[in-house]
Structures are given as structure tokens and as C-alpha cells.
Amino acid sequence: MLWLTCPNCGRRPVDEFSYGGEVPAVPDGITDPDERDVDLVWMWGNVDGPTTERWFHAAGCRRWTTVKRDTSLDVELA
């Protein structure tokens, strides 16, 4: 099971967190404003490998944090 490091609470199991999505949300290559809106709402990078993500420590300190995670193995990266 995945464990994540919260800057306030330390290393905690993923059950305590809510997934907040990947960063950046929309690639810079998309320039048309309407297309950027559609992409922001619906499309995902869905990266297979190292990603940067936002997570919310819902059952802990209730603060947002940025996490680096390898989605190929589902482990947090230092």
C-alpha cells in the first residue's frame, strides 16, 4: 500500500489522503483558450512514471501538499 509524507504529520498511509490531481494540469503546448478550458476540465496526463501531484491530508492536518510519486510502481519518490 502507498504511504505518503505529509510535511506536518510525517509518513502516513494513503487512506488518510485525498488525491488532488497532477501538476501541471494543462500542457503549455495547448494555446487555444477554449481548448485549454476543455483540457483543464476533462483531460489528464495520466503519466506512467515520475509525476508531481497535489494531495490533501483529509484525515490529518487538513493541509494541501505537493508529492512526487512514481505511478509505474505506485511509490512516493524522495
Interacting residue ranges for another protein, rule: CB under 8 A: 1-2, 13-15, 18-19, 27, 30, 38-39, 41-48, 69, 71-74
Q: Rounded CA gap, 62 and 70, in Å?
A: 24
Residue nearer to another protein on the CB measure, 48 or 62 = 48
Residue nearer to another protein on the CB measure, 28 or 42 = 42
Give the nearest distance from C-beta 67 to another protein in angstroms.
10
Show the 3-state SS of 14-67.
Answer: HHHCEEEEECCCCCCCCCCHHHHHHHHHHCCCCCCCEEEEEEECCCCCCCEEEE
Give the nearest distance from C-beta 54 to another protein in angstroms.
12
Give the nearest distance from C-beta 10 to another protein in angstroms.
19
The phi, psi pair for 33, rounded to 5°, reads -60, -40
